Structure 1
Amino acid sequence: MKYSLCADIMFVGVGEKGPVWPDTDGIIEAMKLAKENGLTGIEMFDLQGRDLARIAEASKELGIEVRACVSAGAPFLGNPEKTDELVSLFTESVPKAKQIGCDKLILNAAEYAKDLSEQEVLKAMEDALKKLAPIAEKEGVTVLVEPLTDGFFTSSKQAFGLIESVGSENVKLLYDIFHFQNIEGKITETIKNNLKWIGDIHGAGAPMRAELTVGELDYPFILNTIKDLGYDGNFCLEFFTFQDREAKVKASCTVLPE
């Protein structure tokens, strides 16, 4: 298993009008924090507004990979009126991701069509992903669909069923343990039954989205189970740290299997 941390969540600030996401310097600081703790990668949100050349240079110098990023148009998955825009924005995002060595692009369906039925939204998602799959296959990248707390997906069966219906090795589920604990629980059982459809895993303490050593989830048990299953992909620390960042990352790293 490979380990990384989410640069945006880790270095987000609080402003008068809401969250203040890190700039390029913040992304590079996240790379340094990852390296200091023996991690080998980061993930990040938007590609827009960041100096990708500097990020690519820092990635090479520090030996820290950018393992996943959020595609432009990510919220539009599940909105049939915006499928064409999603495909266009994803296509534009691919070379930007490749510039920083990233081969996984995340879609989160945050703005799915809430006026449609469940089956209509799933159909819109499937149609969009089947349009994206050939692009991903050609470009050698992976589309990651990430279910969110209080978002469209209400079960892992629903989410993994979507991935299976698309039928592409380049379309996978981003299984976020924090979000799925909120959605349904049954973490290790679900991972065991669906490992082949998982392209990335995120983790945070639940229910407060804190470091891995805090909350109701037994991360040593969960992560050792995942390791024993033979998962060799990425596990990303994705928790908020508004203070004592270095100590919380260090504490979380103590539960990561070697």
Structure 2
Amino acid sequence: MLRFSANLGFLWTELSLPDAVRRAHAAGFDAVECHWPYAVPAAELRAALEETGLPLLGLNTRKGEREGDFGLAALPGREHEARAAIDEAVAYAAAVGAGAVHVMGGRVAESPAAENAYAENLAYACSVAAAQGIGILIEPINHRDVPGYFLSRVEQAADVIARVGAANLKIMFDCYHTQIMQGDLLNRFIAHRALIGHVQIAAVPSRAEPDEGEICFERLLPTMLDEGYGGFFGAEYRPRAGTDEGLGWRKTFD
């Protein structure tokens, strides 16, 4: 059965995060996920999750404080900031009962120094998170939306996971980003199935509701289930109009 998670970084952004959780539940989503919830007291978010019974699948580490920051984990010389962001994210995830933390790598050219910083910071994140029963996700992000992002290819993510060697480190397989950077989504998904912890969807190239564009999600997602994926599909798209007005895309999967 296809199960969908509402990404509240893009959906119902006019509402407070707890109220967005409630709206996602009312709209029939099976789970929620978010980007940076830190302005919301953890107790308020946890109360909304408990009220609705929706699981919170994950949240992101902070982007960083400097102009242009989009994560810190792969930036040599900023390990102290990266680990503080990891500590904060894991503590918040534990407080609200989230399942995973996406550790953002940041904008930096590939180099031995960046690779070492990334691997060492991820090893730290995996150790801290494992003590709380939380997973760590890394996400290849396309260079059109985020020029210079360190992690941009699925195979690169697989190499990082092999180097770190932690059981709770997985790939966030974002169909939007991967289609833009590499394409061949199904074969790439099958080749890395054992390493994939979460799947996200949005139309390409618009990043709108997944009922337009060049990816046939109505065939792709059921095939992913057939290949053994048992998780949720994260709806991480920017609505063409309002969130509620665009929810008709789910009828494709009924």
Q: TM-score range by the shorter chain?
A: 0.7 to 0.9
Distance 1:242-1:50 versus aligned 2 partners, 3 A rule: farther
- In the alignment, the residues of structure 2 paired with residue 118 and residue 87 of structure 1 have an alpha-carbon distance, to the nearest angstrom, of 20
Question: Which AA in structure 2 matches 1:129?
Answer: L
Q: Which runs of 5+ in 2 are unaligned?
A: 65-69, 144-148
Identity %: 21
- Asked if 1:59 corresponds to 2:49, the answer is yes
- Relative distance call for 1:102 and 1:214 in structure 2 (3 A) is same
Residue number among 85, 93, 99 corresponding to 1:89 in the alignment: 85
Once the 2 structures are TM-superposed, how far is the Cα of residue 242 of structure 1 from its aligned partner?
5.2
Distance 1:81 1:32, change over 3 A: same
From 119, 133, 136, the counterpart of 2:129? 136
- Given that 2:61 and 2:104 are in contact with CA atoms closer than 8 Å, whether structure 1 keeps it comes out as no
- For 1:10, the equivalent position in structure 2 comes to 11
Deviates more, 1:194-203 or 1:78-87: 78-87
Alignment partner of 2:32 out of 36, 39, 42: 42
Aligned partners of 2:17 and 2:37 also within 8 Å: no
Which of the residues 114, 125, 130 maps onto 1:121?
114
Contact 1:41 1:67 in 2 (8 A): yes
Instruction: Name the CA distance, whole Å, in 2 between partners of 1:154 and 1:50.
Output: 30
- 1:16 aligns to what? none
The residue aligned with 1:185 is 183
> Structure 1 residues 188-197 or 128-137, which shifts more?
128-137
Displacement of 1:240: 0.5
- Structure 1: give runs of 5+ residues left out of the alignment: 13-21
Q: Which amino acid aligns with 1:212?
A: P
| Stretches of 4+ aligned residues off by more than 4 angstroms | none
Moved more, 99-108 or 67-76: 67-76
Amino acid at match of 2:6: L
Instruction: Rate the CA distance shift 1:141–1:158 in 2: closer, same or farther, 3 A.
Output: same
What displacement does 1:32 show?
A: 2.9
Task: Identify, as 1 or 2, the structure richer in strand.
Answer: 1
Q: Residues 1-258 of structure 1: matches in 2 within 5 Å?
A: 2-12=3-13, 25-72=15-62, 75-111=71-107, 113-114=108-109, 117-150=110-143, 151-241=149-239, 243-249=241-247, 251-256=248-253
Task: For residue 4 of structure 1, report the CA deviation from its aligned partner.
Answer: 0.6
1:66 Cα deviation after fit: 1.2
* Residue-by-residue CA offset, 1:99-125 (whole Å, 9 max, x unaligned): 2110201122233x34xx434322221
Distance 1:165 1:256, change over 3 A: farther
Deviations along 1:74-99, one digit per CA (max 9) or x if unpaired, are: 70011121123212321232222122
Partner amino acid, structure 1, of 2:119: E
CA distance in 2, matches of 1:223, 1:103: 22
1:153 & 1:215 partners in 2: Cα distance?
24
Deviation at 1:254, TM superposition (A): 2.2
Residue-by-residue CA offset, 1:115-141 (whole Å, 9 max, x unaligned): xx4343222211211222221222211
Amino acid of the residue matched to residue 54 of structure 1? E
Partners in 2 of 1:88 and 1:244 — Cα distance?
36
